[in-house]
Amino acid sequence: MFGGVESTPIVSEALANVFRTLAPDDVQLFPVTVEGEPERYFVVNATKVVDCIDEARCREVHHYDEDDPSPEHEGEYNWIYGLRIDPSKTEGAQVFRLKKFKTAFIVSEDIKNALEGVGNLGVSFERVTGAPEPH
């Protein structure tokens, strides 16, 4: 599940435990009630914002225009296809948002593997390191 703010993840307690164990300094977990669900859920807030987009290796980038009606987004990315990051600039973060493209919720390979180990995610992962994906 995702919330409305920057596609904030809402996860089960089992998934929250993955974040709590493997990335305690990178996330905040806020308990929430999902109507009609007996299980506990948590909003996952990535507390780190990292400037590590490798624009030259991204397939296609779109910046907000000067004429965009949302001046608060000036200098940020409207959308990125084939997103690539520079892992050397992640400052060791296991979970983070990108400085100029906060829509992306980035997790390390270790976090991804642990989340997949729990199963029943309802999300997919896209690699953002290594060689760009072919079109």
Instruction: Please state the domain extents for the chain.
Output: 10-118
pTM score: 0.84
Query: What is the token pair recorded at 20?
Result: 């709590």
Q: Are strands 27-32 and 41-46 parallel, antiparallel or unpaired?
A: antiparallel
| Residue type at 62 in one-letter notation | H
92 class by beta-carbon count within 10 Å (0-12 exposed, 13-18 middle, 19+ buried): exposed
DSSP-assigned letters across all residues of 16-53 = HHHHHHH-TTTEEEEEE--TT--S-EEEEEE--EE--B
pLDDT digits (tens, 9 = 90+) for 17-67: 999 999 999 999 999 998 998 999 999 999 999 999 999 999 999 888 766
